[in-house]
Structure 1
Amino acid sequence: MNTAQLNRMHSGKGFIAALDQSGGSTPKALSQYGVEESTYTNDEEMYTLVHEMRTRIIKSPSFDSEYILGAILFENTMDRKIDGQWTADYLWEKKNIVPFLKVDKGLADLVNGVQLMKPISNLDELLTRAVERNVFGTKMRSVIKEANAEGIRQVVEQQFEVGLQIFAKGLVPIIEPEVDIYSSDKQKSEEILKEEIKKQLSLLGKDVKVMLKLSIPTVNDFYTDLISDPHVVRVVALSGGYAQKEANDKLAQNHGLIASFSRALSEGLFANQSDDEFNTKLGKTIKEIYQASIT
């Protein structure tokens, strides 16, 4: 584990940029960027185009470590290069931004009001490659749609079980049990979720470190006790489908919680923009997310 990166993630000012759309979400991300499916004919062409989009974001002068602490990458992005360097190396060595890797393989079907992670069949090999690529940590997502105590318990137990496997490889896991922002009992789900997370944190060895990525809570400052837990490097928030301004407004009401936005970060960025237009829009977005993250 890189101590400088750990210290930066624990106490630095800023937020995490989520650049990890993958699989089925890649066409949507490209479409929102102005690149339609008719532009490419296979997955390789699609991933080349999305890497070009991410490269443009990362290389932008607006994508600056003054505001951004870390960036989450998709596996295909980790295995590609920017200006002759592996993406993770470019992020840290050129930008002083901590690299993370999305490791989950998508969601299982809805059972007990939740969607667990699908089995990650090649996890050990993927983690080994992540270490070789100088990645600091990982991210994995589950979804909670109903306040079902049994389902939420299963989500959290699965997340921490895989998280311990990741930590054993020398990486810091971002545990992400997302509560659907459109859930009719979102607040109740958050209450159950927090208790299950606290239970799992209490079982960790004293040197184990994790991060948490959670939906912005219904009750402001609801996760303050998780933010201060000695096992937790940082608690970050996903935008969860909120538009950029609403996500920022809600985040700013939660002290110590920082952003890890994806859709809200790339909103308003288009392939046909000039570099000046692109960098200006990205810079404005980054500064607004940063301001919401330092409350």
Structure 2
Amino acid sequence: MNQKHFDKMKNGQGFIAALDQSGGSTPKALAGYGVTEDQYSNEDEMFDLVHQMRTRIITSPAFNSEQILGAILFEQTMDREIEGQYTADYLASQGIVPFLKVDKGLADKENGVQLMKPIHDLDETLRRANERNIFGTKMRSVVHEPNEEAIKAVVDQQFEIGKQIIEADLVPIIEPEVDINSSDKAKSEEILKDEILKHLNALNDDQYVMLKLTIPEVPNHYKELIDHPNVVRVVALSGGYSREEANKRLKDHIGLIASFSRALVTELNVNQTKEQFDAALQAAVNSIHDASVNKNK
């Protein structure tokens, strides 16, 4: 484990940028950026275009280590270069901690949750992540309804794979997202916290995880997780909230920082000039940073 990166993630003031849209969500990400499906004819061209988008974001002066602690990458991005360096090395050279999305997407909804699909090549992915100087990983499940047994299954799966990632000397970001449209979001979050705490309390002293969670309904609901000795950091996803709404909600939670994806890039467009693009990204970075570090006491 890279101790410098660990210390930054543990103590730094800022947020994590999620730039990890994968195959299934890439067309939607490109469309939001102003690149329509008739502008590419195959998957290779699509991934070339999304890498151009991510390169433009990462190399912008607005994407700075004073406000951004880390960035989550898709596997394709990890294997590509920015200014002659592999993406993770470029990020690290700018003082930003690199993470890798390792899940293969969601299984079908069952009993009010979506587990992760099997990750058959995880060992090989983790080997390559270490080779590319990745610090940690991210994997996502979704909770739709407050079903205790199903939520337990989600958290069990996350921590089972998380321990495999720890064994590979990486720090897993465990992400059991609660759907913001859940019929009883607060109840789901109560059950989720209890299940996560059971697993955290069973970890050894030298086993560390991060958590990526939906901004909860009750202020400081996850404070016990934030303060847990085995937790490096708890970060929040925007989950479909607008940036304004996500930032407003985030300010009610001391110690919780952002890890936004769509809410970070929603006003960026392929047709903007460099000045327009950098200004739009800087405005987003400023607002998300402010919500992450300036809390309502």
TM-score normalised by structure 2 residue count: 0.99
Q: 1:23: how far off?
A: 1.4
Which residue of structure 1 lines up, in the alignment, with residue 286 of structure 2? 287
Please give the alpha-carbon distance, in whole angstroms, between the structure 2 residues aligned to 1:82 and 1:147. 43
How is 1:270-285 mapped onto 2 (pairs within 5 angstroms)?
270-285=269-284
How is 1:21-100 mapped onto 2 (pairs within 5 angstroms)?
21-93=21-93, 95-100=94-99
Q: 1:234: how far off?
A: 0.1
Deviations 1:217-264 (A, max 9, x none): 000110001000000000000000001100000001111100000000
Q: 1:112: how far off?
A: 1.3
Please give the alpha-carbon distance, in whole angstroms, between the structure 2 residues aligned to 1:155 and 1:46. 32
Please give the alpha-carbon distance, in whole angstroms, between the structure 1 residues aligned to 2:25 and 2:67. 26
How is 1:220-259 mapped onto 2 (pairs within 5 angstroms)?
220-259=219-258
The reply to whether residue 143 of structure 1 matches residue 142 of structure 2 is: yes
Please give the alpha-carbon distance, in whole angstroms, between the structure 2 residues aligned to 1:262 and 1:284. 15
Give the SS at the match of 2:259: strand
Which residue of structure 1 lines up, in the alignment, with residue 13 of structure 2? 13
The reply to whether residue 173 of structure 1 matches residue 172 of structure 2 is: yes
Please give the alpha-carbon distance, in whole angstroms, between the structure 1 residues aligned to 2:159 and 2:237. 19
AA at the equivalent of 1:150 = E
Deviations 1:38-67 (A, max 9, x none): 000111100000000000000000000010
Q: 1:111: how far off?
A: 1.0
Instruction: Report runs of 4+ in structure 1 exceeding 2 Å deviation.
Output: none
Give the SS at the match of 1:176: strand
Please give the alpha-carbon distance, in whole angstroms, between the structure 2 residues aligned to 1:210 and 1:223. 15
AA at the equivalent of 1:146 = E
Please give the alpha-carbon distance, in whole angstroms, between the structure 2 residues aligned to 1:146 and 1:183. 6
Please give the alpha-carbon distance, in whole angstroms, between the structure 2 residues aligned to 1:195 and 1:225. 10
Give the SS at the match of 1:279: helix
Deviations 1:130-158 (A, max 9, x none): 00000000000000000000100000000
Which residue of structure 2 lines up, in the alignment, with residue 134 of structure 1? 133
Which residue of structure 2 lines up, in the alignment, with residue 159 of structure 1? 158
Which residue of structure 1 lines up, in the alignment, with residue 113 of structure 2? 114
Please give the alpha-carbon distance, in whole angstroms, between the structure 2 residues aligned to 1:285 and 1:82. 22
RMSD over aligned Cα, in angstroms?
0.4
Give the SS at the match of 1:111: coil
Which residue of structure 2 lines up, in the alignment, with residue 265 of structure 1? 264
Which residue of structure 1 lines up, in the alignment, with residue 197 of structure 2? 198
Which residue of structure 1 lines up, in the alignment, with residue 102 of structure 2? 103
Deviations 1:11-31 (A, max 9, x none): 000000000001110000000
Give the SS at the match of 1:192: helix
Give the SS at the match of 1:38: helix
AA at the equivalent of 1:181 = I
Deviations 1:56-97 (A, max 9, x none): 00000000001000000000000000011000000001x100
Give the aligned length.
294
AA at the equivalent of 1:33 = Y
Give the SS at the match of 1:261: coil
Please give the alpha-carbon distance, in whole angstroms, between the structure 2 residues aligned to 1:149 and 1:58. 40
Please give the alpha-carbon distance, in whole angstroms, between the structure 2 residues aligned to 1:140 and 1:115. 12
